[in-house]
Structure 1
């Protein structure tokens, strides 16, 4: 499952068959870099190919996904940016996400910047790593791409890992289904997963797509973040790409649930 997730982060939504027995970079070069011209035509036919729209999409793909920072990266005003976003939403390229302030019984969420998310991982990959440096790729010079990808791969993968974790979490609560879910953020705090079950139980969790095992300090940070926003979760969850320390595993119980990429087998079912 770890390999499947790694490849899905790049190719998810691209309608081709992927041989996961081959190295990821080899497949990226074969199916994306070498096919740049054809893929650019296909993506432009979906997006419209407008320069400002593509600048905003790159801002979303490379940043924290908040409207304000994405527009700043694209060097457009908020008003112009939102007009472009409305068009891109209508085309099905991105969606708008709001912070789940109501789960913490907070008001004023309308003052918190919305976040923008791609509907397909491949589109996010394209606008993060291909579109910004297209000149070299078009000329079959891939050096800049490899340098950029090497520096940003782990950070880039975390968002898709969060999205998969959210779906996995929903599938894990069968007897008491989840009826509301999303993320929480404000100017000081971010919690990757917040959810509410049918019976009213509150769930809060974080996800880490990193090579090291998660330690107890990650659990302590989650608890501190919940306290800071007056969120009182009944269940805490942590998702880790590479497992957990023995100390953290020893605390696993009904109110602390630990998931790894192996848990994503639920999504295949």
Structure 2
């Protein structure tokens, strides 16, 4: 599952056959960096190649995906940015994601309560790591790319892990289907996943794609965030790559569910 997640984070949406026996960096160089000119032309045909649009797409890929911060990175006003976003959504390049304020009975600020989501992992990878340093890559100089990728790979992969956690959560609650689900954020707070089931149960989840075991402080932080925004979950869920401390395992029960990367095999079975 770890290999599948890593390769999907980069190549998902790119129309090629992926050989996961080839080391990741070697495959990136072979299928993306060495084919920069060809891929650049294809992406330009798809996106339109307008400079402001390209700046916004890089802003989305490199930042926290919030509309206002993405526009600041691109040095455009909110109004100008939203005009570009509307075009990019119409082309199927990005989607607009809303914070699930209504699950927590909160009111959201439109400039804060919306994030921008690439429709394919590959485009997100391109605008995060390739497009911003295209000159060096075009000349066959990959040192800066590898440095940037190594520094941000874990953070970059964690986002796709969150998306897979939502898919798994949906599968886990087939008998009490999720009525509403998604992420929550406001000016000060973030919750990776929140949900409400058909029976009315409230869920809050944290997703950590890290190599170390998750400790109780992650649960404590999640509970504190929920308390600060006035959200009272019936169930807390922690998703992680590796595992959990013995202290956390001892707390596992009806109100606390723990899932590791192995749990995601359920998605492959479906």
**What TM-score does the superposition give when structure 2 sets the normalisation length?**
0.97
Provide, for residues 164-221 of structure 1, a one-character-per-residue CA deviation record: whole Å limited to 9, x for no partner.
1111110111211112101111111100001111111111101111121110000000
Quote the residue 1:168 is aligned against: 168
Give the C-alpha shift of residue 126 in structure 1. Answer: 0.3
Give the C-alpha shift of residue 242 in structure 1. Answer: 1.5
SS state at 1:265 partner: helix
Q: How does 1:1-269 map to 2 (within 5 A)?
A: 1-110=1-110, 112-268=112-268, 269=270
Give the C-alpha shift of residue 111 in structure 1. Answer: 5.5
Give the C-alpha shift of residue 110 in structure 1. Answer: 3.4
Work out the CA distance in 2 between the residues paired with 1:215 and 1:83.
Answer: 44
Structure 1, 27-36 or 238-247: larger mean CA deviation:
238-247
SS state at 1:64 partner: coil
| Residues 61, 128 of structure 1: 8 Å contact kept | yes
Give the C-alpha shift of residue 113 in structure 1. Answer: 3.9
Unaligned runs of 5+ in 2: none
| Residues 166, 193 of structure 1: 8 Å contact kept | yes
Work out the CA distance in 2 between the residues paired with 1:165 and 1:36.
Answer: 32
Count the aligned residue pairs.
Answer: 269
Q: Structure 1 segments of 4 or more deviating over 6 A?
A: none
**What TM-score does the superposition give when structure 1 sets the normalisation length?**
0.97
Unaligned runs of 5+ in 1: none
Work out the CA distance in 1 between the residues paired with 2:87 and 2:37.
Answer: 24
Provide, for residues 8-47 of structure 1, a one-character-per-residue CA deviation record: whole Å limited to 9, x for no partner.
1111111111111221101100111011111111111110
SS state at 2:159 partner: helix
